Structure 1
Amino acid sequence: MTVALMWEAKAAEGRESDLLEWACAGGLEREPLRRENFTAPGGRVLVITWWSADFSAPLPELPDPPEELTARPVHRWRFERV
């Protein structure tokens, strides 16, 4: 089974490039099958990672960035391929 983890954050005023740089730097304890980084208007940064689900170990989540980079808490979603 393949699982996609989505991570989305809204940058604090004037910190869009800092948040994007932080998100692109990695932050995962192991490499996903695939990873894509996106931006959207309003200073939003989205990271989608794809994983082969191994239910004996939790999937690595991108952590929360430093508080000064974000305007609100991070949103996370988990999707399973059907």
Structure 2
Amino acid sequence: MKYKLSRHARLEMERRGISLDLLEQLLQNPQQIVAETRGKKAYQSIIDFGSGKRFLVRAIVADENDPPVVITVYRTSKIHKYWRMP
């Protein structure tokens, strides 16, 4: 997926220790794509960062732009809050 990375997303990835490789994997093969407010989408996957604890990594993307813009990226332990059951 071709995309543009916002300045905010770049800064937050660095601050949160999320690599560009991980973001690219998430955007290419998300476990879920969830509709968010104002037409945005959350690309998300559950990831084990090696500590044995699983986190949900979410990339909030404005798909209506060409190319799509990654607005922010974060990880959370609150999987149940964001995960959608089919």
> What TM-score does the superposition give when structure 2 sets the normalisation length?
0.32
Name whichever structure is richer in helix by fraction: 2
The structure having more radius of gyration, on CA atoms, is 1
> What TM-score does the superposition give when structure 1 sets the normalisation length?
0.33
Q: Which has the higher contact order (CA 8 A, sep 6+)?
A: 1
